[in-house]
Amino acid sequence: MKQCEMLVIGGGPAGLSAAIEAAEAGVQVVIIDANEKAGGQLFKQIHKFFGSSMHRAGTRGIDIGEELLQKCKDLNVEIWLNSLVIGVYDNNVVAVDVKKSLTEHELVKVQTKKIVIATGASENAVKFPGWTLPGVMGAGAAQTMANFHRVLPGKKVLMIGSGNVGLIVSYQLMQAGAEIVGIVEAQPNINGYAVHASKLTREGIPIYTGYTIIEAKGKERVNQAVIGKVNPDWSIVEGSEITLDVDTITIGAGLKPLIGMAYMGGCKLINDRFLGGWAPCHNYNMETTTKNIYVAGDASGVEEANTAIEEGKLCGVSIAESLGYLDSTKAEELKKAIWNRLAGLREGAHGTERTGAKQKQLEEYTKAMEG
Amino acid sequence: MMRVTSHPVLGEMKEIEWVNITVNGKPMKAKKGEMILAALLAEGIIVNRYTTKKQEPRGLFCGIGQCTDCMMVVNGIPNVRTCITPVEEGMTVEVQDGLGKWRGDK
């Protein structure tokens, strides 16, 4: 059986950062990534990150991705591509399906000392009549097509959701040449940052607050979207329906942590809407209630890439310390600095709620371990 | 043509190296190394499969290999997630009917 000291599931910002931090201290790391290129969703994030300079504000996600991959290369971090972790078993054994070609797969078992779950998140769907029609897709899917594959998924787009994803992706689809017909937000106010919203309103793009999608019409592809105003009880205001000609409807309705491996590993989960749903409880070191299994990034509760990077580093430091590569004084110093940066990232819009949810996650860990 | 050839952040697209594929029996050019789904979208092909029971069309939904809505028959093999499978010279790609037919299936 293949052996390693630390196995990271998922080579996005959290997984790469965990690997770098641990490898710098001397830990032997293997990253398992399902895609043909690591970097997670960083390579579709062509916008400059926000926050303070401490958090790399002003740097584009794509550049951060290249930088992290280069660091991994320099530190001899082993990255398995086209490889899917299909199971986490007792005694830190991980099963990996390595795709060799369309028809050939190899099943490889890896014996490791530490596991980091950095599987990220998946997009939430919104279900309405016609939601399965071609042309109705996740906002992230449209972003992947336009920014990563450089193919427009459609020309006339209606965005559902005005959170930061909805706003940023709308702007990026416009940059790629699409027309944004409008943005629909069921809540009374725009959900994302004003700085992103104003970039769109300046271009004359209507943001329909208090509206929801009623139906997507079309046969082989969506060709119309019907939207309407919502009452406080979420029913549709009679006569408020508007029909828009579109060829694409993108759904930016939030994300949920990908917790399959945490569930399989027996990690205790908690459900909190500010984490995006179910997420594993963890301690100050990002270790879950299952010894030797750690979690970082969106898999530990949906936030954004900078937070994922910091949580990844926290895993890396904790694991290096636990395996004897870092003395506890040095490790504590590093961890304190990371937690301070995380606190900074959890300020601002919805910051109080997110901080509260993360606090509850730590408390639930303690309760589970004492109980 | 749906390709984003020039972009304010990403710049001009580099000269494209093409490969030849066959889609639903018709020859088509695809960008070397790109995902099958992207190649099809570039040509405006948006239906990847029809569902088993109701024969409803399905297409791109998640774009990152999670949802399986974009599965097609590739080189005779059904249920290939086209959003994460790169094109290859000479590849045949067909719209999938239901769960698809495996070799030997009647």
Shared domain for A114 and A208, answered yes or no, is no
The CATH number of whichever domain residue A143 belongs to comes to 3.50.50.60
**Number of folded domains that form chain A:** 2
Shared domain for A268 and A358, answered yes or no, is yes
Shared domain for A364 and A263, answered yes or no, is yes
Shared domain for A182 and A146, answered yes or no, is yes
pLDDT value at position A49? 80
B19, A187 contact by CB (below 8 A)? no
Mean of pLDDT over chain B: 94
Shared domain for A40 and A19, answered yes or no, is yes
Q: Is B30 on the interface with A (CB under 8 A)?
A: no
Shared domain for A239 and A292, answered yes or no, is no
Shared domain for A51 and A193, answered yes or no, is no
**Pairwise CB contact (< 8 Å): A175 & B38:** no
Q: Which two tokens stand for residue B71?
A: 């599965």
- What is the DSSP-derived secondary structure letter of residue A19? H
The rounded percent of chain B whose pLDDT value lies above 70 is 95
pLDDT value at position B15? 86
**Average pLDDT estimate for B53-82:** 96
Sign, CA dihedral A132-A134-A135-A139, equals positive
pTM of the complete model: 0.95
pLDDT value at position A57? 72
Tally A–B CB contacts below 8 A. 99
**Pairwise CB contact (< 8 Å): A147 & B10:** yes
pLDDT value at position A347? 86
pLDDT value at position B1? 66
Residue B103 or residue A78, greater confidence: A78
Q: Is B62 on the interface with A (CB under 8 A)?
A: yes
Q: Using alpha carbons, select from A101, A172, A181 the residue that is nearest to residue A140.
A: A172
Mutate to test the interface with B, among A100, A103, A149 (most CBs of B within 10 A): A149
- Find the closest chain A residue to B40 by CA distance: A151
pLDDT value at position B14? 87
pLDDT value at position A351? 84
Report DSSP letters for A169-215, one per residue: HHHHHHHTT-EEEEEEESSSS--S-HHHHHHHHTTT--EEETEEEEE
CA distances from A38 to A14, A269, A334, A346 (A): 11, 27, 26, 26
Shared domain for A193 and A284, answered yes or no, is no
pLDDT value at position A112? 98
Boundary-marking domain end, from A234, A251, A268: A251
Q: For residues B83 and A84, what is the distance between their CA atoms, to the nearest angstrom?
A: 16
Residues with Cβ within 8 Å of B55's Cβ and at least 6 positions away in sequence, in order, are none
Boundary-marking domain end, from A251, A277, A310: A251
Shared domain for A23 and A165, answered yes or no, is no
Boundary-marking domain end, from A228, A251, A274: A251
pLDDT value at position B104? 63
Instruction: List, for chain A, all residue ranges whose pLDDT scores fall below the cut of 50.
Output: none
Mutate to test the interface with A, among B2, B21, B29, B51 (most CBs of A within 10 A): B2
pLDDT value at position B92? 97
* Cβ-nearest to A138 among B2, B41, B62: B62
Shared domain for A67 and A49, answered yes or no, is yes
Shared domain for A300 and A264, answered yes or no, is yes
- Find the closest chain B residue to A133 by CA distance: B58
Compute chain B's Rg from CA coordinates: 14
Grade residue B102 by pLDDT with cuts at 50, 70 and 90.
confident
**Pairwise CB contact (< 8 Å): A150 & B47:** no
| A79: β partners | A31
Residues with Cβ within 8 Å of A364's Cβ and at least 6 positions away in sequence, in order, are A268, A270, A281
Domain coverage including residue A235? 125-251
Q: Which domains, ranges and CATH numbers included, belong to chain B? A: 12-97 (3.10.20.440)
pLDDT value at position A52? 62
**Average pLDDT estimate for B70-88:** 96
Shared domain for A267 and A208, answered yes or no, is no
